[in-house]
Chains A and B, each alone.
Chain A
Amino acid sequence: MNAALAQSATRAAALVVEGIGKSFPAGKGGAKGALRRVLEEIGLEVAPGEILALTGPSGAGKTTLCRILAGLERPDEGAVRLGGRDLAGVPAGRRAVAFLFESYALYPHLTVRQNALSPLQAPNAVGAGAGRLDPAAAERRVDEVLELLEIRHLDARLPGALSGGQKQRVALARTLVQDPALFLLDEPISHLDAKLRHKLRGEIRRRLSAQPAPAIWSTPDGMEALSVGDRVAVIADGRIEQVGTPEQIWLSPVSTRVAKLLGDPPMNLVPGTLAQEGGGLSFTRRELRLALPPALAAAARRAKSAEVVLGVRPDALTLVPPDAAGAARAEIYSNEPFGKHAIVTLDLGALLVKAKTTMSLASGLGDLAGAGTGEGIGAPVGLELPAEGLVLFDGPTGRALPAA
């Protein structure tokens, strides 16, 4: 390992990605020589010690971006800089990157322990930042990480004898033992069971935050991204849609695409029209009608089209009796009781809307919907929109209003 990178591994350095673009051959079905654009003008900055969560639907280009950052793929254009140094000519093995592969990429002929130990014994070992860890220290570190990931008892097994979740934890161990210049975690906990996922999410975040290296954590799960990232980058169709803190992403998604990706269940998107009403603006969709609060109305005045989409989080919706004043009439389409809260899907006339409510059939919802209707399916209820926590999107483009 050369001296410059050895230093950069210890002296924390920011990752800067500028204008990365990448195309692949279109493959089957496409014309010969045709290209498929997978990444377009990707620009990101990750500060030392910062975790950037990269989220987007599968096929959005997350893995390709990680592989370009690691040096396994060459970008068609754009630059990757680590601590001000352009990595264009630097091969993967000299970038001091700890890469967790979505497909695990374990060495099949090595045991769990040997796999976890492998990066510390590698030619360009970045174990101790400035050089190689001595064997005893490396073993201790591996022990500690295997313990953390609850796979120490498996340490003599070969990967072939492990389940998917166990393999993923070995891949995690192999990544976490390192002190690299950059962490790249491609869907690191997607194959773990829910309980372990919750435990490890926090543990891994804690470990990464303690490291001086910038980290990129890719995941198709928007909620996971919001929970692990210091900042979150949303990527769709090879473009960065939005970069921001979890609060920014959650409260003001810049497009319907971002809105659809985040939340459990995700934000309801209700298409409708803007109408002049008295002194202000109102949003209408059939009998659903909402006088826009001043802030939103100001934004709505800048809309180019009267066609807009109103975004409203499921937990902001209130269920009221069907005949309540100002409420839109809806029918209960389905009801998922979670115990603590229920997710009720409502048929709003050719549009399904999900509401997250603390009411259950036993308390409140049953009275609303009228007794004796079984699950309450088909029963009429009223739906009230809140005055806050709403987001307006331009109908034709799907961009948030104001487009600031």
Chain B
Amino acid sequence: MSVAVDWYVGLSAVLFSIGAAGVLLRRNALVVLLSIEIMLNAGNLALVAFSRTHAQHDGQVFAIVVMAIAASEVVVGLGIVVALSHMRRELDTDELAELHG
């Protein structure tokens, strides 16, 4: 391999930090969820790269498990975001009704 594995791990460290910045600095819930995905993906990249160094499958299997779990987290997160936006919409119309009545 001409690209040493530490380059891959270094890349994953950079991606992880970018994701952390997104979680801490952005206020939009959707973007925060996307940033968490970046962080989990950075972890996956590190796992997969190390799995190559050790020539084992453990890291890859862990990465696949993480994919399934990350998808579950996204489902729940988006579900809450959708329910919350319905709720906010209703709150706004409540104010509207008060103004008219």
Task: Tell whether A pairs with B.
Answer: no
Residues of B within 8 A of A (CB): none
Residues of A within 8 A of B (CB): none
